[in-house]
Structure 1
Amino acid sequence: MLAGIAAGLGAGAFWGTTFVAPLIAPGFSSIDLTVGRYLACGLLSVLLLAWTALRGTLHKPTWSQAGAALWLSVLGYTGYYVLLVLAIQAAGAALPVLIIGTIPLAVMLLGKPQGLRWRTLLPGLLLTAAGLVLMMRATAHGMDGSATAQGSLAWGVFLAALAMASWTAFVLLNARWLARHPEVNSTVWANWLGVAAGVGALLIWAVAGTPLAELVARPGFGTFVLVCAVTGIGAAWIASVLWNMASRRLSASLAGQLIVSETVFGLIYAFAWDAAWPAPVQWAACVLFVLGILASIQAHR
């Protein structure tokens, strides 16, 4: 159990780096950062699969397994991020981020083991919900009423809800798939998902991405490539391996609780980058998140 918790927290630590990626490479769009991230992940996955093939240890997926990797990569990787980006473009950043913040609660509620009583899970749920409420207050405080300049607020909220449902479904279905296929280890599965995500990124780039010549000509292109490489290897591939390990060792409800660590780490990185201290309400929210994780761990023992 401890190994699964450590893996889940490690995944959250890597996912949190995506919070600061736009701050480090501000001259590039979210679509370009998403495409670059998953292209880097896909390239690494292809190289690792080629290495295993040269060593004669390549585990080839069946058609069914390849189809599952493609479908789940859309749910949890490229499809999810495209929905989120479109939601932010339509409604501004604040509301979509708040909606996405409910994912840990949704996963905890839908992934509760049959033998676990609700009353034992309730403290962790309440602490996490209280932390989300505080974080929502802090986020809503910065809204300026101009969020709908690029589109319809209602449409953006709808897209954000779809993104939330997409990633929630990915967490639950990915855990179920791993449980049914113990012969596929976490690293192999991460490679298959990475290749599928790389293919999806190419399709997104062809439809909505910035032409390569224009990207190269922009100031800070080298930083952009570095950010994509770091988030593609860390926040996509390594985080995927760690999350697969956590999903195999923990119930979906406990793994869902650990998702809030992404927010905690993301805030730490963002404030460190800006050389600023969080507001008291954000400190309080992070404390509640940590207490919620500890309460959920206790409930699942």
Structure 2
Amino acid sequence: MQERKLSAVGIGYGLAAGLCWGVIFLAPALVPDLSGAQFAVLRFLCYGLVSLGLLLPGWRRLRTQLTWSDGKRLFWLSLIGNLAYYTLVGVGVKQAGIAATTLIVGLIPLLVALAGQRDAGAVSFGRLWPSLCCALLGVALISYETLTSTAVGEQPVLGLLCACGALLAWSWFAVVNTRFLASTPIGAHDWGLLLGGMAGAQALLAAPWLLSEQMVLRAPADWLQPLLVAAGVALLASVIGGTCWNQASRRLPLTLSGQAIVIETLASLTYGFLWNGRWPTRLESLAIFLLVLGTSWCLQCHRRPPPTAAVAT
């Protein structure tokens, strides 16, 4: 009963994380005059400030729990799972569109499931491959739609490659972060804030290099809209969504916690089509169906225990 309760709470946290994360694919489209890297720096500057404010009251307690190894882990998790990932997402959205980037990154649950093959309760590849084939076919269709469409950026191939890079970056982050949270006494909320503080420090170091030209070209009043978008994404996706994800990771096995990304995919697609004021095309609809089918199939594999032979007594 307690295990079921934990799973239900974990799934609830996963759903909340997905809905919050959906905004990250829309945000780069709201600031078209900033590059993917520039907006990523702006977002994580805001995220870092929020995290710092929330960290200060408990910093003395946290400092005694942190090791040098934890510091190195924070650096790489933040650099790859925050700054690099979101820079790639931003370029993907601007060059390949929201739908294509979202669907490619939506393969994260399947990659996470494959990465967790040796974990307790993992599903064998023999049961996962049909769902993987469905999802990959969906990605192939959306890639074809992107490359043949005129409603995307000037470099759609670059956009698709960056979306694939974002997929790999966050899949790595999800696996490493989930396994670490299962073995550390540091709370999920505190760890999320530490990641935010590290991301803010890294963004601060990158800001003079990436934002100096914009500081010269933009009047102070012109920064209001990008700052509001960045602050909104920082609070909703990074702080609230990140905390919900860490809570889900503690309550669910690695192969199941990755399914929270399915909700992010559907939420992001909905936000994107509403922003563009259109319905998905036929190919987009088919690609979405195949991806949802593939990830749902993967989820069902985790819910059904494999048949076992009867043991004679």
RMSD over equivalenced CA pairs, Å: 3.3
Structure-1-length-normalised TM-score: 0.81
- Give me the whole-angstrom Cα distance separating, in 1, the residues matched to 2:287 and 2:161: 26
Q: In the alignment, which residue of structure 2 is the partner of 1:117?
A: 124
Alignment pair present for 1:79 and 2:84 = yes
Distance 1:227 1:134, change over 3 A: same
**Per-residue CA shift, 1:48-104, capped at 9, x if unaligned?**
012335xx7x42223322221112111201133345557889xx437x947655444
2:182 match: 179
Q: 1:161 to 1:137 in 2, by over 3 A?
A: closer
Secondary structure, aligned partner of 1:180: coil
Q: Which has the larger radius of gyration?
A: 2
Asked whether the equivalents of residues 35 and 90 of structure 2 are also in contact (C-alpha less than 8 Å), the reply is no
**1:120-199 mapped onto 2 (5 Å cutoff):** 120-142=127-149, 147=154, 162-181=165-184, 183-199=185-201
Map of 1:45 onto structure 2: 51
Counterpart of 1:27 in structure 2 is 33
* Distance change (3 Å), C-alpha of 1:48 and 1:297: same
- Alignment of 1:251 with 2:256, yes or no, is no
Measure how far apart 1:273 and its partner are. 1.6
CA shift, 1:172, in A, is 0.9
Shift of 1:194: 0.2
Contact kept? 2:110, 2:298, Cα under 8 Å: no
Residues 220 and 22 of structure 1, relative CA distance in 2, 3 Å threshold: farther
CA distance in 1, matches of 2:28, 2:114: 32
Q: Is the 8 Å Cα contact of residues 99 and 160 (structure 1) preserved in structure 2?
A: yes
Structure 1 regions of 5+ residues with no counterpart? none
Could you say what secondary structure the match of 1:28 adopts? Answer: coil
Change (3 A) 1:140 1:103: farther
**Normalization by structure 2: what TM-score?**
0.78
Provide the secondary structure at the position in 2 that maps to 1:135.
helix
Give the aligned partner of residue 239 of structure 1.
241
Q: Percent of counterpart pairs with the same letter?
A: 34
Aligned residue number for residue 207 of structure 2: 205
